[in-house]
Amino acid sequence: MGVAEGLALVFMVTFVPIFMTMPAVSVNAADTLGWLATLVHGIVSMLAFAILCYVFTHVEGDLYEVCEILLGRMGAWIISLYFCVAFFANYVVILRQFAENTLLTALPQADFAVIISAYAIAAGILVYLGIEGMSRASFLILPFAVSALLAVLLLLVPFYNWYHLFPLQGNGIMRTLTYGASVAGLNIGVFGLAVIAKSFQNRKTVKDCSLYGLGLSTGLRGFSVFVYILTFGLPVAKEKMLPFFEMARLVYLSRYLQRIEALFILLWVIIGVLGAAFSLYFGLFLITRVFRLPTFRPLIPSISIMLAMLSINESGKIDNCKIAILQSCILGNYHLGMTGALALQLFIDILIANFCDRLLDLQILVLPKCYLWLGYHNSLKNQRLVFLQCHHFNLRSGYRINVLLLQRLGISRAGHNFKSLI
């Protein structure tokens, strides 16, 4: 895939929260600076993924392969299973909230289980068609979606009240920045690029897709929350269940063209189904990588049914607001911490490997947890490694460092060769 498909993928999977209750949650947390909190958690996600992109420039492969090289097989299993659970949780939250929204806006008499089933079936069909088909469909929808969103926000200019932005500091700038950074895990979809990194043309394509896709999504979400505050004011903005739907209801073109929000119901349903399908695909793909399965297509019906049943709960016990708060706490806070720790761990490993690479001319190379003796055979044609003897105080740490060193020396299948030598 290229930049266009990847950009549309990231946009669809990260723009979904704007159609749910998250804008109202941001306003409740940051008051008049809710738009700034939205921008902050997008920027923090960009920085976290930029660290992963730096790792990918030094180690080829997708997320599972990179973790297997740097953290060992057990570390790769733990990280992959965590991301699998996180993507499935995001899929369940999207199904539940969009089903609730459908009941509130379009089909109030419909059965809740039927709506959940319809969304799950649609997402399963898209996943069965493959990642390229979903990405290209997203790219076709992207211009119309962005144009329609901007049209709604600009048509609300007569309702803007600039006094709604006061007090300008909201709950405090530092508190807003802290909140925005703490819920950066809501942009979990951008890390799907790392999961399917081998599906793209090269590593620069992955970097460009994350930068442009998440940048466009973050900018539009921030502008939407800004217009939302301008239009409704702080007291009303904190109480809305469907902020974007309420903004679309205010648009008035003429007495013969009214209630254009009905058109936007179709738009956010399409974006929601695509976002759910991407999350389901990433989770299933990680399962195939961990358990070394040839394909995940036989798993689509069973996993979809299990997750759909998990998302079905009695509406009286868990409402939409509680789900939004749960989403911000679990996917926002905990996923941010786990992703940040993973990115820093991989980044430190790469720095150590780069430092060791600069010392390869030495006959004795001393590391914190391993000693490595290297000998070279000098010839007129080339310089090749002819002797390697290793003694470890920590086999796992030394193994992941020296695999990188051997790869730098051009030895094929460095991990297997090194393992046989020790």
Q: Encode pLDDT of 196-208 as tens digits.
A: 988 888 888 988 9
Same domain, 266 and 369: no
Per the domain annotation, does 391 fall within a domain?
yes
Predicted local confidence at residue 340, as pLDDT: 62
Distance from CA of residue 100 to its chain's centroid? 23
pLDDT reading at 336 higher than 70: no
Per the domain annotation, does 287 fall within a domain?
yes
Domain final residue, candidates 292, 322, 348 = 348
Predicted local confidence at residue 286, as pLDDT: 93
Predicted local confidence at residue 57, as pLDDT: 81
Predicted local confidence at residue 349, as pLDDT: 65
Per the domain annotation, does 353 fall within a domain?
no
Same domain, 240 and 309: yes
Predicted local confidence at residue 380, as pLDDT: 29
Same domain, 240 and 373: no
Average pLDDT over residues 59-73: 84
Same domain, 180 and 281: yes
Average pLDDT over residues 228-248: 89
Parent domain of 373 = 359-421
Per the domain annotation, does 354 fall within a domain?
no
pLDDT reading at 145 higher than 60: yes
Q: What is the CATH number of the domain that holds 338?
A: 1.20.1740.10
Distance CA 78, CA 75 (A): 5
Q: Which residue has the higher pLDDT, 300 or 100?
A: 300
Same domain, 276 and 367: no
- 36 falls in which pLDDT band (50, 70, 90)? very high
Q: Using a pLDDT cut of 90, give the percent of the chain over it.
A: 27
Domain final residue, candidates 348, 373, 391 = 348
Instruction: Give the angle 121-25-305 at the CA atoms, nearest 5°.
Output: 20
Q: 92-120: b or e for each residue (b if 16 or more CB lie within 10 Å)?
A: bbbbbbbbbbbbebeeeeeebeebbbebb
Per the domain annotation, does 278 fall within a domain?
yes
Average pLDDT over residues 79-99: 88
Same domain, 279 and 143: yes
Same domain, 191 and 330: yes
Sign of CA dihedral 31, 33, 39, 40: negative
Same domain, 262 and 371: no
Predicted local confidence at residue 418, as pLDDT: 39
pLDDT reading at 42 higher than 60: yes
Domain final residue, candidates 320, 348, 376 = 348
Distance CA 99, CA 101 (A): 5
pLDDT reading at 376 higher than 50: no
How many structural domains does the chain have? 2
Predicted local confidence at residue 369, as pLDDT: 35
Per the domain annotation, does 212 fall within a domain?
yes
Is there a cis peptide before residue 167, judged by omega within 30 degrees of 0? yes
Return mean pLDDT, the chain.
Answer: 77
Predicted local confidence at residue 367, as pLDDT: 38
Same domain, 203 and 107: yes
Distance from CA of residue 361 to its chain's centroid? 41
Predicted local confidence at residue 317, as pLDDT: 46
Same domain, 367 and 271: no
Predicted local confidence at residue 227, as pLDDT: 94
- 159 falls in which pLDDT band (50, 70, 90)? very high
pLDDT reading at 72 higher than 90: no
Angle between helices 243-250 and 131-155 (to 10 degrees): 50
Same domain, 386 and 315: no
Same domain, 81 and 217: yes
